[in-house]
Amino acid sequence: MSGSIRGRLLLWQISALALTALLVSLITYSLAWNGFNRVRDFALEQIAYTVLRHGRVAEPEEDAAEAEDLGQFVSQVWNSRGQLVYSSRPDIDLPPQRDGLNVVSLGDDDWHTYTLREGKRVIQVANTTANRNAMFAGIVPWLLLPMSLLIAGLGTLIWMAVGRALRPLEAVRREIGARDAPALHALDTRALPEEVAPLAGALNELLARLDAALALQRRFIADAAHELRTPLTAVRLQVQIAQQARGPEERAAALTQLLAGVDRVTHLVQQLLDMARLAPEANRAAMAPVALDELVKQVVADFSSQAEAREVDLGAGACDRVAIPGQAEALRVMLGNLVDNALRYTPPGGRVDVEVTVGTDAALLTVADTGPGIPAEARERVFERFCRLAGADIPGSGLGLSIVRDIVALHRGRVSLSDTPGGGLTVRVDLPLAGRGEQATPG
């Protein structure tokens, strides 16, 4: 991992803030010092104008505007008898105010005055609010300059910091955007920040699952095509034999074989459709209480004619009344595959028994036959798709137990194989029970 985005942003932003604050402080200090000197120089200027005006008598042709040009302050002096002995602006009648700073309204303007009493003399200096506003308006642009520099400097540095800190995310986005189905290898997380590395790790897990799903899909399609090729070839051959038959008996035999081939293809296609329905994205039906004992009786009844044709004794044994949370159609497919497999591998004169019992926390479904059974070392392998044991001469697709496993997994159950006492195979399916409120048989 390459540090932290949080750490990078903090480092860059604090550095940008410190650098900008230093720059703004220098500019503010310079502006404040310059403003202070300008105020002091302005005061000196006004004192000079006051000295210039002292004792001067305005000429008759001199108007108030020309007199105002000599200074922006008005200075006045009163003697001990309260007579005005000097005014830099005789045209302004501003009476003496109490000692200190004051604000007085005169005409259309406000005046700021400072009054000083020395002995019996009164000295007063004043200027207008309008004059102060005009002076301050000239300073405002310089006051806004530091803030403008602060915003511009911080904005630029933060933009650079965010862009640099988020560069790993952009790299991940580009790498993922360039991927396609064949390129699902993991992302390199070694150089990623600690905030991005977990996201990349989760993406790697998703890519791995997607790659496995695509590989499984490709294998499934290849296996399905291979499995369909054999019965379709046999169907084609039987059609050719029927076309070339020399008599009714030979044609009838060929058609019988043709019908068996069509049945085999139909069975395989039906199982492929069942597997497609069990795909996680296609199987989102809600669970509902299913009466397992009633379902067993229905499936046994559905296969009774097939069992009779094969001369196999198919029956429902002990069937405790129990309901489990599940999908009725999926459970019917599971049970149908178990019974169908048992009937296929049980020789004439054999038995297939289906039972349902209730355990402490699960319903126990068993399908026991008296067929050849499955060797212990092959019992895990037979749940794989299209898996058929060597030497098996019974027609089939190798999908039945794979479908059973997927449906049991969908219902959070367990499936296991064992020997039937006396010979044969017993399939046991454990399906979790519903809560007490759901165990009543649905009406």
Asked if 324 and 398 sit in the same domain, the reply is yes
Among candidate residues 275, 306, 325, the one where a domain is terminated = 275
- For the domain that residue 239 is a member of, what is the CATH number? 1.10.287.130
Asked if 26 and 150 sit in the same domain, the reply is yes
**Segment 86-98 mean pLDDT:** 83
- Burial classification of residue 294, based on how many CB atoms lie within 10 Å of its CB (0-12 exposed, 13-18 middle, 19 or more buried): middle
> Which among 299, 384, 391 has a CA at the least distance from the CA of 343?
299
Task: Tell me if 192 is assigned to some domain.
Answer: no
Question: For position 282, what pLDDT does the model report?
Answer: 45
Asked if 148 and 293 sit in the same domain, the reply is no
Question: For position 53, what pLDDT does the model report?
Answer: 59
Asked if 130 and 28 sit in the same domain, the reply is yes
**Segment 169-175 mean pLDDT:** 73
Band the pLDDT of 272: cuts 50, 70, 90: low
Task: Tell me if 16 is assigned to some domain.
Answer: yes
- The domain total for the chain is 3
Residue 249's contacts (CB-CB under 8 Å, 6 or more residues apart) are none
Among candidate residues 95, 126, 161, the one where a domain is terminated = 161
Q: Mean pLDDT, the chain, as a whole number? A: 76
Task: Tell me if 252 is assigned to some domain.
Answer: yes
Asked if 321 and 261 sit in the same domain, the reply is no
With 80 as the cut, is the pLDDT of residue 337 above it?
A: yes
Of the segments 62-76, 125-139, 298-312, which one has the largest average pLDDT value?
298-312
Task: Tell me if 167 is assigned to some domain.
Answer: no
**Segment 275-298 mean pLDDT:** 73
**Segment 339-361 mean pLDDT:** 90
Per the listing, tokens 């004043």 go with 126
Asked if 92 and 141 sit in the same domain, the reply is yes
Question: For position 242, what pLDDT does the model report?
Answer: 78
Secondary structure, 3-state, 264-307: HHHHHHHHHHHHHHCCCCCCCCCCEEEEHHHHHHHHHHHCHHHH
Asked if 232 and 297 sit in the same domain, the reply is no
Task: Tell me if 405 is assigned to some domain.
Answer: yes
- For the domain that residue 149 is a member of, what is the CATH number? 3.30.450
Question: For position 443, what pLDDT does the model report?
Answer: 31
Q: What are the residues facing 177 on neighbouring strands?
A: none
Residue 257 CB coordination number (10 Å): 17
Q: What are the residues facing 416 on neighbouring strands?
A: 428
Asked if 259 and 146 sit in the same domain, the reply is no
Q: What are the residues facing 115 on neighbouring strands?
A: 100, 124
pTM for the model: 0.47
- Range in 91-95, 140-144, 273-277, 438-442 with the lowest mean pLDDT: 438-442
Task: Tell me if 385 is assigned to some domain.
Answer: yes
In total, the chain counts a number of residues equal to 443
Of the segments 183-187, 189-193, 307-311, which one has the largest average pLDDT value?
307-311
With 60 as the cut, is the pLDDT of residue 320 above it?
A: yes
Q: How far apart are the C-alpha atoms of 295 and 318, rounded to whole Å?
A: 13
Residue 398's contacts (CB-CB under 8 Å, 6 or more residues apart) are 227, 385, 386, 387, 388
Residue 224: domain span: 211-275
Asked if 357 and 291 sit in the same domain, the reply is yes
Asked if 133 and 246 sit in the same domain, the reply is no
